[in-house]
Amino acid sequence: MDLHLQKSKVKSQKSKATITGSKSETNRLLLLQALYPNISIENTSISDDSEVMSRALNSQLTTHNSQLIDVHHAGTAMRFLTAYFAQKENCEIILTGSSRMKERPIKVLVDALQQLGADIEYLENTGFPPIKIKGKKLTQNKVSLPANVSSQYISALLLIAPKLENGLILTLEGDITSMPYIKMTLEILHEIGIKTSFLGNKITVCHAELVSASQFTIESDWSSASYWYSIVALSEIGFQVTLSSYKENSLQGDSALVNIYQDFGVETVFNYNNSITISKERIHNSQLTTHNSQLNNSPDIAQTIAVTCFGLGIACDLYGLHTLKIKETDRLEALKTELSKLGAQVCVTNNSLHLEASTKFLENQKINTYQDHRMAMAFAPMALKVPIIIQEAEVVSKSYPTFWHDLKNFGFEITSV
C-alpha cells in the first residue's frame, strides 16, 4: 500500500493523541511475565513486534517435534526469544524471520548463550537466523560479550538471568552501546524484586525462583512520540499537541527528544496526569546553522531528527549511529538515498550522518521504506512542506499501527495510490 500525502496543514492549533505503551518496555515485561506469571501488565504496546512476542511466549511447546516460530521483522523478539527458549527446559523450536531478519547477525548472543551451556545450531548461514534451539537448564553463570553491539543482546541475557539456577555475572567488553536500554532492563528487574548490580564493566543478576506479585503500567513509547515532535517542529508557531502517557523520569533513552527539540523551537511540558504537551514556541534558533547530536543512547530517533533538520533548512551532524546498519535496513544508507530524492545533500559513514542545509524540496517523490517502519513515519512530517509518497506504508504496524489514522485526524490529506 502506497500513500500519497498532499501538502498538508494541521487543522487545529491544539490537538491530542494517545500512544500505546513502549514496545521496549512491553517486550521486556512480556518475557518476565512468562518467567514469573504473577506479573500483570497494563498499557501494553499494540505493535506487531509485541504481538509476535506474546504469541511466541504463549506457544504450546513439545519435545516431540520442532515447532517453527516466525518473528517476521521483529528484531527485539528474535533476540529476546533466543535467550528465553535456550533456558526453557524440554522444548525444541526453530526460530526464523523475514529475509532481512536472516541477514541480521545473532552470533554474539548465540556465542554467549553457548558459553552458559545452551544448545543452539544454525540452520542456514553461520551467525544468522534461522536457528534451532533445544531448551535446557543452563548451569553456568559467567559470560562475556562485546558491549559495542546491539544492547538487545545484553538485555536478552539479563532478562533470563534471574531464572538461571546460579544467576548471571556478565562482563561487557569495550564501549557500551545504548546504555539507557540496559538500564531500563535492570530497573525493571529491580522493580519486580530481583537483586542486581552494575559496577564498572560487570553486571550481576541474582537468582530468584519466585517474585512478589507486581502490576505495571507501561509508559507510552517515546520513539513514536518523536514523529509528533517533528510535526510540531515543522508547523507554525503556536501549534501544540498533547500526548499520553509519559513520565519525566522515563526509562526510555528516546526521551532525549525533550532536550534535542529545543533546538528546533519545541518545548515540552509534563502535565499532572502523565501526559506531555509539546508546542512550537518560536522559530528555531537563528544562530543555529548546524544541529549536532550524539545519539549513542537513542539511535532510533536519528531518522526523525535528520528529516526534521532537512524540513527546517538546517544542516545536521549526527553521531553514534553504528547500530543503524543492522536494523530493519541499513538505516544510514536508506536515509542518504531517500533524503537525496527530496533534494538533500547527505553523506554517511559507518556511525554518522551529515546533512547540508537546503531550502528547496522536490515534490511528489516516492520514499522507499525498505520494510522499515521508522523510514515511513520519519518522512511523513515532510508533507507539511511538500507533497510526498510513502511506499509500503502499512509497515508502520510494526510499532505504531494507528499512525496514518492519527495523522488524518490532525488534518493530513492522505490517499492511497
Catalytic residues: 300
Please spell the DSSP secondary structure of 250-306, one letter per residue: -S-GGGGHHHHGGGGTEEEEE-TTSEEEEEE-SPPPTT-SEEEEE-TT-GGGHHHHH
Distance separating alpha carbons of residues 242 and 219, to the nearest angstrom: 15
C-alpha R_g of the chain: 21
Helix (H) or strand (E) holding 114: helix 107-115
Distance separating alpha carbons of residues 55 and 49, to the nearest angstrom: 10
Contacts of 214 (CB under 8 A, 6+ apart): 38, 39, 40, 191, 192, 193
Contacts of 199 (CB under 8 A, 6+ apart): none
Distance separating alpha carbons of residues 376 and 367, to the nearest angstrom: 8
Distance separating alpha carbons of residues 144 and 150, to the nearest angstrom: 14
CA distances from 295 to 133, 145, 292, 317, 329 (A): 34, 22, 10, 10, 18
Residues placed in the known binding site for 3-phosphoshikimate: 23-24, 28, 150-152, 178, 300, 327
Q: Are 91 and 119 in contact (CB under 8 A)?
A: no
- Interstrand relation of 92-96 and 131-134 (parallel, antiparallel or unpaired): antiparallel
